Amino acid sequence: MKTIFEKSNNAEGISLTDEVENLDFLKNADLRQGKVGLPQLGELEVMRHYKELSDRNFCIEKGFYPLGSCTMKYNPKVNELLASLEGFTSIHPNTPDEYCQGSLKLMYNLQEELKVITGMDAITLQPAAGAHGELTGMMIIKKYFESISDKRKKVLIPDSAHGTNPASAHMCGFDIIPVKSNDKGQVDIDNLKSLLNKDVAAIMMTNPNTLGLFEENVLEISKLMHENGSLLYYDGANFNAIMGYTNPKLMGFDVVHINLHKTFATPHGGGGPGAGPVGVVEKLKEFLPVPIIEFDGEIYRRNYDLKNSIGSVKAFFGNFGVLVRAYAYILMMGKNLKEATENAVLNANYIKEKLKNYYDLPYDFPCMHEFVLTGERQKEKGVSTLNIAKRLMDGNTHPPTVYFPLIVHEAIMIEPTESETKEKLDEFIDTMINIAKEVESDPEKVTSAPHSTPVRRVDETLAARHPDLTYKE
Ligand SMILES: *Cc1c(COP(=O)(O)O)cnc(C)c1O
């Protein structure tokens, strides 16, 4: 496909006025001498160009998107409508409190809703993503131990954890100690016990863990940690598996982040703005980032005056437009958030049971909202998990997460979410079964996939390390 610069023809795409503005205030040397260099095309050709580009993109509105751990659920369009209301879009972040009561009320109410959903005692909406929430939470934990003059330096992290967990803890200056998983895919309690001592500040856990399995011993773990004077951090990226059924507070956690762009249906992907609100228990409240949105019964206000605050982790109060969308979603769903969880779990178990005869299932237990297969059987025939993922792209499906979690070789991590119909799930199951059959009958077809995408195989390392994003004539 040609770039819009290459398509440029002699049409006059933009007609600027002939009137010359008074530019005396600019130095001659600052004025452009040559042409502006914008492509010239008629409106229809411009529309066709961008439509063609957008058709090449993949999104949830186009097809099934079972990207494990990422919760690619449908983002209802009514949320976009509400976030684009002028009262929200034209407000300046420095508007005095008394002139932006509506927006402050929305943030306050969202904090209150998230308190109920997480069970926590206080919330900050400031962090811009899950990983940013982890960093915020670990900064709070660090500051808490400083405040009681305790020099603990170690953070325990299960070997199934998301890579951002050790990264966030390390950025805060903690030493990372991995905890082993047992043969049921759960935290190995004996290994955990052997690692516990007065140097351990916290454990970072995901529950359900990244294998999609609920940690059965979570209460014992929180008891062990607290008896040791340590805190518990809950990575809430998998909240879609528990909403309304349980919460991190009931499990004994002290700090939690949630990804609004996963569980609460705000758009994500492509590095777009997200939100990773953090909740804490009462004794950690004083360390939250500022501002906190408060209500005194009459007026909503931003409180910057938190004595032991870790400071601000983002300008103003975070990605406001994302908060509006998430709040709209929570109000729209109400008690049905619980039903969303129910269906997410049901959908994952349905696919798992249908596929487990065709792909190996390393941890064969009832799963929560996602599960992990291994492509090892296919690998023996010379077809890697990467090839299977590429072949799925021919079936108008976004590939699942692959090669994560690291404890499963040739991992294929499938998360259907609650958004999909049974027909869509069956279609995906058929596609996966067909690929498994192709591996037996025509492996070449899988190893050379994708066959139908505009770009076939890319060098992923090169694309990530040396992205070529500018047009040069
Ligand atoms: C997505 C995810 C994160 C990180 O969240 P971002 O919003 O992408 O920064 C952390 N942990 C787990 C388990 C995740 O799935």
Is-contact 81 321, C-beta < 8 A? Answer: no
Nearest to 163 by CA among 403, 377, 328, 380: 403
Residue closest via CA to ligand 1's atom 6 equals 130
- Ligand 1 centroid from CA 334, angstroms: 24
Q: How confident is the model at residue 13 (pLDDT cuts 50, 70, 90)?
A: confident
- Ligand 1 centroid from CA 237, angstroms: 5
* Burial profile 75-89: b = 16 or more Cβ within 10 angstroms, e = fewer: bbeebeebbeeeebe
pLDDT value at residue 313: 96
Q: Is the pLDDT of residue 271 over 70?
A: no
Residue closest via CA to ligand 1's atom 15 equals 69
Q: What is the mean pLDDT of the chain?
A: 94
pLDDT value at residue 272: 67
Q: What are the tens digits of pLDDT across the range 335-345? A: 999 999 999 99
In this structure, what are the phi and psi dihedrals at residue 143, rounded to the nearest 5 degrees? -65, -35
Q: How confident is the model at residue 130 (pLDDT cuts 50, 70, 90)?
A: very high
Q: How many CB atoms lie within 10 A of CB 32?
A: 7
134 CA closest ligand 1 atom index: 10
d(CA 76, CA 95) in angstroms, rounded, equals 29
pLDDT value at residue 269: 66
CA 79 to chain centre: 18
The ranges assigned to domains in the chain are 1-56, 68-72+338-464, 91-335
71 CA closest ligand 1 atom index: 15
Q: What are the tens digits of pLDDT across the range 132-176? A: 999 999 999 999 999 999 999 999 999 999 999 999 999 999 999
- Ligand 1 centroid from CA 321, angstroms: 20
The residues pairing with 419 across neighbouring beta strands, listed in sequence order, are none
**Stretch 90-101: mean pLDDT:** 95
d(CA 460, CA 250) in angstroms, rounded, equals 42
Is-contact 1 454, C-beta < 8 A? Answer: yes
Q: Is the pLDDT of residue 296 over 60?
A: yes
- Ligand 1 centroid from CA 233, angstroms: 14
- Looking from the CA of 238 toward its CB, the CA atoms found within 13 Å total 29
Q: What are the tens digits of pLDDT across the range 444-457? A: 999 999 999 988 88
Residue with tokens 């109000």: 331
- Ligand 1 centroid from CA 230, angstroms: 23
CATH topology of domain 91-335: Aspartate Aminotransferase; domain 2 (3.40.640)
pLDDT value at residue 62: 92
- Ligand 1 centroid from CA 131, angstroms: 6
**Stretch 207-229: mean pLDDT:** 98
CA dihedral 55→61→63→65, nearest 10 degrees, is: 120
**Which residue from 67, 69, 213 has its CB within 8 A of the most atoms of ligand 1, so it is best to mutate?**
69
- Ligand 1 centroid from CA 247, angstroms: 18
**Stretch 102-127: mean pLDDT:** 97
The residues pairing with 300 across neighbouring beta strands, listed in sequence order, are 295
The lowest-confidence range among 28-37, 90-99, 325-334, 355-364 is 28-37
Helix (H) or strand (E) holding 101: helix 101-118
276 CA closest ligand 1 atom index: 7
- Ligand 1 centroid from CA 128, angstroms: 12
**Which residue from 67, 135, 164 has its CB within 8 A of the most atoms of ligand 1, so it is best to mutate?**
164
Helix (H) or strand (E) holding 349: helix 337-355
Residue closest via CA to ligand 1's atom 3 equals 130
Tell me what percent of the residues of the chain surpass a pLDDT of 70: 99
Strands 255-257 and 278-280: antiparallel
Helix (H) or strand (E) holding 170: helix 164-171
One-letter amino acid of 231: L
pLDDT value at residue 10: 78
Query: Integer distance in angstroms from the first to the last C-alpha of the chain?
Result: 16
Q: Is the pLDDT of residue 245 over 80?
A: yes
259 CA closest ligand 1 atom index: 7
Residue closest via CA to ligand 1's atom 2 equals 237
Q: What are the tens digits of pLDDT across the range 39-52? A: 889 999 999 999 99
- Ligand 1 centroid from CA 274, angstroms: 11
Helix (H) or strand (E) holding 411: strand 411-414
Q: How confident is the model at residue 121 (pLDDT cuts 50, 70, 90)?
A: very high
Residues near ligand 1 (Cβ within 6 A): 69, 129-131, 162, 164, 206, 210, 235, 237, 259, 274, 276
Q: Is the pLDDT of residue 14 over 80?
A: no
210 CA closest ligand 1 atom index: 13
In this structure, what are the phi and psi dihedrals at residue 446, rounded to the nearest 5 degrees? -80, -40
Query: Which ranges constitute the DSSP H helices of 2-96?
Result: 4-7, 43-56, 77-83, 86-89
Which CATH number, 2.102.10.10, 3.30.2130.30, 3.40.30.10, 3.90.1150.10, labels domain 68-72+338-464?
3.90.1150.10
**Which residue from 159, 235, 260 has its CB within 8 A of the most atoms of ligand 1, so it is best to mutate?**
235
Indicate the SS3 state at residue 239: helix
- Ligand 1 centroid from CA 73, angstroms: 15
Judge if 68-72+338-464 and 91-335 fold alike in CATH terms: no
d(CA 433, CA 259) in angstroms, rounded, equals 32
Indicate the SS3 state at residue 374: strand
pLDDT value at residue 69: 95
Nearest to 162 by CA among 260, 72, 68, 241: 68
